[in-house]
Chains A and B, each alone.
Chain A
Amino acid sequence: MTAIVCFIALVIATLAITGWAARRSQGRSGVYAADSALGPGQNGFAIAGDFLSASTFLGTTALFFTAGADMILYLAPFLFGLCLMLIWIVGPLRRMGRFTLGDVLAYRLPSRGLRIYIGLSTITISIAYLIAQLVGAGMLIAILFGLTFEWAVVIVGVLMTIYVAFGGMLAASWVQIIKAGLLISTVLIICVLALVDAGGLSELYARAANTFPEGTKLFQFGGSGMSMFSTISLVIGVAAGTMGLPHILIRAFTVKDALAAQRSIAVGATLIAIVNGFLFAIVAPATVAYVMGDPAYQTETGAIRGGTNMVVVHLATALGGEVLLGIVAAVTFATILAVVAGLTIAVASASAHDLYASLQKGHIDERKELRVFRFATVASSALAVILAIIFKEQNIAVLIAMALGIAASANFPVLLLAIYWRGLTARGALIGGTVGLLSAITLIVLGPEVWVRVLGNEQAISPLEYPALVAAPLAFITAWIVSVLDSNKQSVQVQTA
């Protein structure tokens, strides 16, 4: 009952925000970038909201439940990537662009082909990420609220379409800010309740170690059984992918200048680190201490009810009864809504501002471009919902690996070179990015997730789950070689302009 009340209150509140934002979001600047009027603190909360997805809140704690301290391998690399993004990318990105990644490239290399390329890669990455989020969301909401998977996905799809189509970036940002505040508060409440109930941190750890079948091995690294090569490729793949994620990068355009963009990332990184720290040090061990071995949360076969992704939800029940369960369910729903809204903004703005505008000759009518934005919002949401229903049974990890792999290998090298290397030509960027894109997709197909787990082969041809270790350097080298050899007069003129 609490879950339903919280859910309805949440939907009403977010729709009210959308109505408020719709009255203020006029023109391209308002719709794409919230008029660049967010403060660094607000944008920092929104960035934290983008990262603290349902997979962070539920998925990583589930990982601790099975693999112990290796959970940190799925938390720290995102923070590492965000840190490098702050050092190398976000300042110049804000100075060079207005609304999309296409603006940034057009500033240095005004090539229609390159703009279409970056628009398509943004759409591909964001749609893959969106489908992964929707598949996860559908399963979770179905369990939490007793809906069917299809209805859960459709409800999320309709709400995200309303937020983005009417409220634009301002509505998506405020939904994200509120969700981040709710999530942080909920994590803190769970931490306090767990510590009070256990009698302190050392007592909580002792209880977790006593419950875990292998005792204190729970706190040792190596529980996931990954090889050193796999762990290194995971860290590099996630960090490089983070630096190329369009829905994070375009947040730089929602604040007034480069300094504010950098401060936003620092605020976001701090909030993410605080939440991750509490999840890693308190919430995850508490799930083992309170949920593992308790028949109330097990099926007849001994498995966790709803799967291990539900251990935080069960922990909430154990610590705070039905009330805390309802709050956690509603916060999880808000988390999903906010993340998918941010992704939809990235798809729609790339469709309208990079693809549609690039294909027009002469003056671009702003009203027509915004109509395309709204059409793209509806179309991309509908496509994502349909694909999520089709891919319902597929492994979400493949889609996440694909999104991060393409971001790391197709977006990140091109952006970094465009910012820092004057010798980059449009042809070099286009061919380098394409090589990164194709090699990333090839390596994912030949890797363990697709080749073994989806296609059923015995052994993977490529050992890489995250292909950035190979594909990103290939993109860099190709872009460099092509640019050096490029005798195209236009490119040379552009790079020295």
Chain B
Amino acid sequence: MVVSRKKLLLTAVACLIMAPLPIITGMDESSPAGLASPLAAIPLSAWIGLVTMLVLIVVSWLSIEHDNGESGE
């Protein structure tokens, strides 16, 4: 079957937003993600986690339109 470009694009976005997490957490040196962050009160690690989940939600809702009516077979 032909897989649509939008489906691949959404998959790529989901993978790209997810990829840094295991890499940062698995680094030998602990990451400099303490209290220094764009908004000083909120740790960078919290920002990274929350933004990751937010992007995954957006990708989920966008993929509904994309898959609607497509047989997938």
Contact = CB atoms under 8 A, between A and B. Distances in A.
Contacts of B21: 72-73, 76, 231, 235
A370 to B, nearest CB: 30
Contacts of B46: 69, 219, 280-281
Contacts of B49: 69, 72, 75-76, 277, 280-281
Interface in A55-113: 68-70, 72-73, 75-77, 79-80, 82-84, 86-88, 91-92, 95-96, 108
A269 interface: yes
Contacts of B32: 220
Give the interface size class of chain A: 35 or more
A363 B1 CA distance: 34
Interface string B30-69: 1111110000111111101110111011011101101111
A268 to B, nearest CB: 9
Given A83-B60, A86-B64, A227-B26, A280 B50 contact: yes
Contacts, number: 178
A94 B40 CA distance: 46
Given A91-B67, A205-B35, A281 B22 contact: no
Contact of B56 (A79, A262, A421): A79
Contact of A262 (B43, B45, B54, B63): B63
A83 B22 contact: no
Contacts of A280: 46, 49-50
A264 B23 CA distance: 31
B70 A73 contact: no
Interface in A401-454: 419-422
Given A202-B41, A273-B53, A87 B10 contact: yes
Contacts of B14: 80, 83-84, 87
B9 to A, nearest CB: 10
Contacts of A220: 30-34, 45
B40 to A, nearest CB: 8
A221 interface: yes
B55 to A, nearest CB: 9
Given A84-B14, A92-B71, A269-B60, A70 B42 contact: no
Contact of B27 (A68, A222, A276, A277): A222
B14 to A, nearest CB: 5
A318 to B, nearest CB: 21
Contacts of B40: 202
A223 to B, nearest CB: 7
Contacts of B25: 69-70, 72-73, 221-222, 224, 226, 231
Nearest to A67: B25
**Interface of B (DSSP majority class):** helix
B11 A87 contact: yes
A70 B3 CA distance: 35
B33 A221 contact: yes
Nearest to A222: B30
B72 A420 contact: yes
Interface in A226-241: 226-232, 234-235, 239
Interface residues of B, number: 49
A477 interface: no
A216 B35 contact: yes
Interface string A260-279: 00110110011001001100
A258 interface: yes
Interface in A269-300: 269-270, 273, 276-277, 280-281
Nearest to B59: A83
Given A209-B35, A262-B67, A73 B22 contact: yes
A263 B67 CA distance: 11
Given A72-B52, A80-B56, A221 B45 contact: yes
Nearest to A72: B49
A273 B61 CA distance: 13
Nearest to B46: A281
A192 interface: no
B33 A422 contact: no
A265 B67 CA distance: 13
B26 A87 contact: no
Contact of A95 (B11, B18, B56, B72): B72
A303 to B, nearest CB: 25
A91 B70 contact: yes
A414 B24 CA distance: 32
For the complex of A and B, the 9 pairs showing the least CB-CB separation, nearest first, are A228-B26, A92-B72, A202-B41, A219-B43, A231-B22, A69-B45, A231-B26, A222-B30, A72-B49
11 contacts: A86-B64, A202-B40, A205-B35, A221-B45, A232-B23, A235-B18, A262-B63, A273-B53, A273-B57, A277-B50, A419-B72
